[in-house]
A = this chain, B = another copy of it.
């Protein structure tokens, strides 16, 4: 059985919970509160020197970091992970896009605007960039998903799971999805998939630890 180090409000950790729920795979959940510095303790840093969640224990003393790498690991051999060479490459393409173009913008906006009390004021200088780059990423996604039911391989895969995590909370952090009808339809399709679980986060309940 897997052990997943996770933070409930992290979209990156949610991806892994969503994939494991769809697959019906049992796992032990260890909640790590990064805002209380729990991912920066000496003990946690021996598990993940990058000090981040999610983190998956894959064998005694062996840990895997980076949400999208964990998705490939847990979904390996299932329909969620495309095996065909070009399908796999296209799923990877969207997953690298997610970490490079979507998560740094919508993920950052979600964290500071939706989760952190007073975060909007603290990050006012960065907000314009996040909004511009985030909307640009959503435009690229809309263009694809208007012509395809899923992001890769013509079926529900970990590419959808990776992109869903922050896109489905985009409206909670100033990203109005009215202009993106195909994305909204796709979000509804993902939510209708078997084993779907909600992210279950709470708004603005957190204060930044110094």
- A residues within 8 Å of B by Cβ? 49-50, 58-59, 62, 64-70, 72-73, 76, 85-86, 88-90, 92-93, 95-97, 99-101, 103-104, 125, 140, 143-144
Contact = CB atoms under 8 A, between A and B. Distances in A.
Nearest to A50: B140
A68 B92 contact: yes
B66 A96 contact: yes
A63 B89 CA distance: 10
Contacts of A125: 125
A104 B100 contact: yes
B68 A86 contact: no
Contacts of A50: 97, 101, 140
A62 B89 CA distance: 12
User: Of residues A49, A96, A140, which shows the largest number of chain B Cβ atoms within 10 Å of its Cβ?
Assistant: A96
B66 A88 contact: no
Contacts of A76: 85, 88-89
A188 B92 CA distance: 29
Contact of A70 (B89, B97, B143): B89
A72 B99 contact: no
Contact of A89 (B73, B93, B103): B73
Given A72-B92, A86-B62, A92-B72, A49 B100 contact: no
Contacts of A97: 50, 65-66
A64 B144 CA distance: 13
Given A64-B86, A66-B92, 12 more contacts: A64-B93, A65-B93, A65-B97, A66-B100, A72-B89, A72-B92, A73-B85, A96-B96, A96-B99, A99-B99, A99-B100, A125-B125
